[in-house]
Chains A and B, each alone.
Chain A
Amino acid sequence: MKLAEAPTLSLEAGASHLTEVLRGYASAEGLPPSLREAWQAHARQAHLEALFLDQKHKEDWKYTPLSFLRRPWKLAPPVQASPPVSLAFSGQAAELVLPSEDLPALRSLPAPTSVWEALLTPAASLQHYALSQEGYFVLAPHGTGELSVHAATLSVAPGTQAEVLVAPSGSGFLLVRLHLDAGEGAQVRFFLPAGGGAHDLFVYVLVTARLAQEAQVETYDLTASVGWKRSEVRVYLSGVQAQAHLHGAAIVGQGSVVDHAIRVEHAVPHTASNQLFKALVYKGGHSAFQGRIFVHPHAQKTNAYQSHKALLWEPGAVAYSRPQLEIFADDVRCTHGVTTGFLEGEMLFYLRARGVPEEQARHLLAQGFLEEVLSRVPQEALRGWARQAMGFAE
């Protein structure tokens, strides 16, 4: 039997097709006029239509294979394509600020008791997105060829904490656009796991965050096995003592693309940021990392750190790494290091000389390489999930 091949578009046609699809989503066609306006307003905020416009000319997409553009994606049914929402977290409970209370898709979704419980429940029984006291999460099982869109604005009240989980599974294209406004002293964690072996899972997560004084954002991007995943995180540190801690660990297998585009802007004095990303790349895998640190002229006493390490498992693995430091203040501590290379023979020999067989030694070293990131994931359930998904469970 011959499988029908998916029709392929040119990159240009694919980009304009996706732009059209997102325009359709943003226009909220088919909704009653009373809802449409609010929906449109939220969608405008997310700038969805602009995402795919001639991105292949953009510097930011230089090292990102765009094969996903060749597919004629169609918008998933409304339940999966959630309405753009606004969420306010105030500590006691999260409040969902909807365009209207009448949105049938959202109302019918019960919130599981815990985000973490949800992650560990088999995907089929899950809702596509939900809200709990702890935070907001998107878990989107899709159909192949379908594009599922989630756009949300999160505002976290001063001094409170929230967690956001984006855990796609299944196949299809998940587009998540989140904007965070973190009030003074607020603490927000984003967990962005993806994995489970599906090679027709495409994920594009774009998070923008604006942090007030003493606010803190953490991201944990854990990728075990996907077709294509791009995580774009842009943090704007706009209050003194604001901090961003961004982490990533990825296993990039044959035919898989994992792309991180990070931008941290230090806009005021006394802010700190930290980027720690690691990718283990197999033959036929493609890893890309762009880490931009921008320090404004008056942002003295900035402390910025960046590390990206790609471990090429074998010849035929591809990793691009591009640090961009733009520092316009003079009293700044900024350290960065990017390394790309093969497994160190010295380590392998050390393990083998103690009796560990070569295969097992390589496996231990792979685990050790990513463990530096995994051990920092502050949620045991997620840590366990990642180790399992990456093949490191003991």
Chain B
Amino acid sequence: MLTIRNLHVSVEGRPILKGLNLEVLAGQVHAIMGPNGAGKSTLAAVLAGREGYEVTEGEVLFEGQNLLDLGPEERSHAGLFLAFQYPVEIPGVSMVQFLRAALNAHRAAKGLEPLDTADLMALLREKAALLKLDPSFLTRSVNEGFSGGERKRAEIFQMAVLDPKLAILDETDSGLDIDALKVVAEAVNALRAPHRAFLIITHYYRILQHIQPDVVHILADGRIVRSGGPELALELEEKGYEPLILPA
């Protein structure tokens, strides 16, 4: 589904990703762990198409398509979703307005008619309930005044609405209380499917106890330095990064 080959990325002339390789197959859940500043969010940003990141080498294929050629909205239409580490507030734009525009753009890209209001609201209410979000949040401005945990849940809510093929979760578990973490994990697990994949960026073993990954990677200094099964996350939890990153 996603193939990253020898990806080099610079920000303001400074190399951040330095030859990253990754292969994610449909149906899989991959976890990416790594120290602060390793380049995890940079990877997420480059995949989603944020400006200001210069790809100096390498390629990214998403379902056979060259992902880097597409604008952010086209990547979204193709089935890519990024749950942001720091979701931004959008004053004056309600969640309903926002998701109506997003969903209808997705539908237009597939040659479908816009959803009518009743169907749209039914869908949004259903997914809000799944994330245990109060329906009133649909009419509030996007992320405005949301608590840290509410923002993270709102990201997963949007993911559930947009039904992506590949979802990248950038530290969605940070800032969630224990119950909210369960709610989010359940929503992700409910969406696990043979045609869908997840890339979960996290610092904590805890979320991976709820969402069993197929593969765990350690990203350090712009590269994947180790990959393994779920036990790698446990090992990290016990020993910390240093012994695992340092060449033996």
Contacts and interface: CB of A to CB of B under 8 A. Distances in A.
Interface of A: 344-347, 349-358, 360-361, 364-365, 367-372, 375
A350 B84 CA distance: 9
B98 interface: yes
Contact of B92 (A344, A354, A355, A372): A372
B73 A372 contact: no
B68 to A, nearest CB: 15
Contacts of A367: 92-93
A292 to B, nearest CB: 26
A372 B94 CA distance: 11
A357 B92 contact: no
Given A344-B88, A360-B101, A371 B162 contact: no
Contact of A355 (B50, B97, B102, B141): B102
A353 B93 contact: no
Leading 10 A-B pairs by shortest Cβ distance: A368-B92, A371-B92, A355-B76, A368-B93, A352-B72, A354-B102, A355-B102, A352-B73, A355-B105, A356-B101
Given A357-B73, A365-B93, A350 B88 contact: yes
B90 A351 contact: yes
A353 B72 contact: yes
A371 B92 CA distance: 5
Contact of B77 (A346, A355, A372): A355
A101 B51 CA distance: 69
A355 B104 CA distance: 9
Contacts of B58: none
B158 A354 contact: yes
Contacts of B141: 368
Contact of B91 (A351, A352, A357, A368): A368
Most B CB contacts (10 A, CB to CB) among A347, A351, A358, A375 go to A351
Given A350-B84, A352-B73, A345 B51 contact: yes
A362 B101 CA distance: 12
B135 interface: no
A308 to B, nearest CB: 15
Interface in B81-134: 81-82, 84, 87-88, 90-93, 97-99, 101-103, 105-106, 109
7 contacts: A351-B90, A351-B101, A357-B73, A358-B73, A360-B105, A371-B91, A372-B92
B98 A356 contact: yes
Contacts of A375: 92
Contact of B88 (A346, A356, A369, A370): A346
Most buried by A among B50, B81, B99, B109: B50
Contacts of B71: 352, 358
B50 A349 contact: yes
Contacts of B90: 347, 350-351, 365, 368
A373 to B, nearest CB: 9
A349 B91 contact: no
Nearest to B159: A354
A173 B77 CA distance: 50
Most buried by A among B97, B103, B105: B105
B97 A364 contact: yes
B48 interface: yes
B242 to A, nearest CB: 34
Nearest to A369: B92
Contacts of B72: 349, 352-353
B49 interface: yes
A353 B162 contact: no
Given A345-B51, A356-B105, 13 more contacts: A353-B48, A353-B49, A353-B72, A353-B82, A353-B84, A354-B102, A355-B76, A356-B73, A357-B73, A357-B105, A361-B73, A365-B90, A365-B93
A369 B91 contact: yes
Contacts of B75: 353
Contacts of A365: 90, 93
Contacts of A358: 71, 73
A374 to B, nearest CB: 8
Nearest to A372: B92
A349 B51 contact: yes
A70 B91 CA distance: 41
B217 to A, nearest CB: 23
A351 B49 contact: no
B88 A355 contact: no
Nearest to A309: B91
A370 B71 CA distance: 27
Given A350-B87, A354-B98, A371 B93 contact: yes
A369 B91 CA distance: 7
A345 B53 CA distance: 14
Contacts of B73: 352-353, 355-358, 361
Contacts of A360: 101, 105
A349 B90 CA distance: 11
Contacts of B98: 351, 354, 356, 364
A360 B73 CA distance: 11
B91 A354 contact: no
Nearest to A350: B88
A355 B102 CA distance: 5
A353 B76 contact: yes
B93 A352 contact: no
B101 A372 contact: no
Nearest to B161: A354
